[in-house]
Amino acid sequence: MRLNAVTSHSAILWFVSLLTLLLWLALSLAVPQLISDVSLPASYVLSVVFLGVISVVIALLHARSTPKSISTSIHDLTTQLHRVNQGKSDRIELVLGQGASQTTHQPLADLVREINRYLSMETDRISQEQAFSSEASHELRTPLAGMRLQAQIAQRTENKEQQRTALNNIVLAVDRSTRLVNQLLAYSRLTKRKMLSDITHVNLSQTVQECAHKFATAIGKKQVSLNIAQPEKLPSIDANNAQITTLLENLIQNAVDHIPEHGTIAIGLSSLNQSVSITIDDSGEGVSDENKRVIVAPFQKSEDGKQSGTGLGLAICQRITQLHKGQFTLSDSALGGLCVTLTLPLHQESD
């Protein structure tokens, strides 16, 4: 930007020089007696010297105004960014010095606006992460407290039955904490970079079949009927297959957890214009509209107080869908329970 300004200024400079030269020539031709005692080549030399002086003056003026005021502004912005780094401020502001023009500073103003946008995004992200880790610690401390109490009960009691129950409870609490830690890791690994690093053409029909297959035992135990409806030909989508698998597994697990025995789960695949839609319906009790908004956030469980999940399953699903630039919606299912609808675009544009 600074280079451009300098070049345009030198162009003006040379244009002015040329004009002066022509003026000088015209004058010497029209009124020769004015310069009669000076030879023609000498007059050329004189004009060049004259022009040189004018150029230097203009260049000096030029150097004094724009580049200097830009460098002052940049220096000022650096000081402000330093304050941001020290946590004393959360945004920067472009202050135009005297003689600075809006036009020459426009690119700088654009840069400042972008930096501020980034800073506010970063502030949001940090406060979200702080809230997340605080919640995560809460979630881990409770099973830890349970384990400690149960262990102390096992130590105290002489009743063999009570001792066995307490020890079983410790194992349950350890398993639950392990599941939570695994989910926390899974959630923290869901970054854009990771997702983009392994994009392939995913055949959703096949992935859905594979995921459903993993629940064969759980489904058999609860005598659940699981139906998959799909068109004959479904286009493949650009996606991270591992993440899509996690997404589908979480949703099927959720459905299995929340339906009664002999319940029904229906998975539907369909092809839309530039995307593919997946619906997962269950015949469970469903979720109230208020809770639909709540349960997607990390660590929010539905109000019934049932402790089947870690409170991260749906948050993971939503994050994966977001990373794939898809849509994730919860609605009431015709089967009576919850209906989760995912819309995933066919193509992932890298940006």
Partner 1 sequence: MRILVVEDDPILGDGLVQGLTLDSYALDWAKTKSDAQIALTTNQYDLMLLDIGLPDGSGLEVLQGLRKQKNDIPVLILTAYDELSDKIKGLDSGADDYLVKPFDLDELRARIRALSRRAKGSASPVFQVGNITLDPSTHKVTLADEPVKLGPKEFAILRVLMEKPGHILSKAQIEDKLYGWDMEVESNTIEVHVHGIRKKLGKTAVKTIRHVGYLVE
Binding status of residue 296 toward partner 1 by CB under 8 A: no
Q: Which is nearer to partner 1, 82 or 138 (CB)?
A: 138
Which single residue is written with the structure tokens 């004015």? 34
Q: Which is nearer to partner 1, 298 or 326 (CB)?
A: 298
Binding status of residue 20 toward partner 1 by CB under 8 A: no
**CB hemisphere CA count around 276 (13 angstroms):** 24
Cα–Cα distance, 340 to 327 (Å, whole number)? 10
Shortest Cβ distance from residue 287 to partner 1 (Å)?
13
Q: Which is nearer to partner 1, 59 or 167 (CB)?
A: 167
Binding status of residue 146 toward partner 1 by CB under 8 A: yes
Size of the site for partner 1 (CB under 8 A): 31
277-303 CB burial, b ≥16 within 10 A, e <16: bbbbbbbbebbeeebbeebbebbbbbe
Q: Which amino acid is at 187?
A: Y
Within positions 308 to 347, which residues make up the interface with partner 1, using CB under 8 A? none
Binding status of residue 126 toward partner 1 by CB under 8 A: no
Binding status of residue 137 toward partner 1 by CB under 8 A: yes
- Pair 223, 260: CB distance under 8 Å: no
- Pair 337, 258: CB distance under 8 Å: yes
Considering only 59, 172, 181, 297, the residue that binds partner 1 (CB under 8 A) is 172
Binding status of residue 303 toward partner 1 by CB under 8 A: yes
Instruction: Classify burial at 139, counting beta carbons within 10 Å of its beta carbon; exposed 0-12, middle 13-18, buried 19 or more.
Output: buried
Residues in contact with 325: Cβ distance below 8 Å, sequence separation at least 6, in sequence order: 345, 348
Shortest Cβ distance from residue 300 to partner 1 (Å)?
9
Q: List residues binding partner 1 (CB under 8 A).
A: 134, 137-139, 141-150, 152-153, 156-157, 162, 165-166, 169, 172-173, 176, 301-305, 307
